[in-house]
Amino acid sequence: MSASFTYLASVTASTKRNPNPVGGNIGPAVENISSLVCFPLDPLTPDIQQRTALQSPEEHLQTFVQGGLDIQEGDILVVGSAEYPIKAVGDWYWRPDDANYMYLVLEDIKT
């Protein structure tokens, strides 16, 4: 990771994933990646929300993480005590170091 990416990726997080079904039942999500760093969570801009066809009343957030991580749509990003379902995962090119990272679209479910 470049120094600039490392500086901006100031939030520590982890991920959870639902286990494979056993006998037709799916257990609770379990830890998949124990520690990673990401950019602070920011609201998804309206144009990106429209392009990704996320038409729902929930608020959506975005963040960036290093590339090559085992993160999939349907996983859960955990930041502190908050959990955010991952709605979309995409490749993101970070021009300052000519490297590939990942772009995550998260759902912020208000309770």
11 lies in which domain range?
3-108
Tokens 């000519």 correspond to what residue?
A: 98
Average pLDDT over residues 96-105: 83
Amino acid in the structure at residue 101 = Y
Average pLDDT over residues 84-93: 91
- Give the global pTM: 0.84
Scanning the chain, the segments in alpha helix (DSSP H) are: 3-8, 46-51
What CATH number corresponds to the domain at position 25?
Answer: 2.40.10.270
Average pLDDT over residues 3-12: 87
pLDDT bin (cut points 50, 70, 90) of residue 88 is very high
What pLDDT score does 1 carry?
A: 66
What pLDDT score does 49 carry?
A: 59
Q: How many domains does the chain have?
A: 1
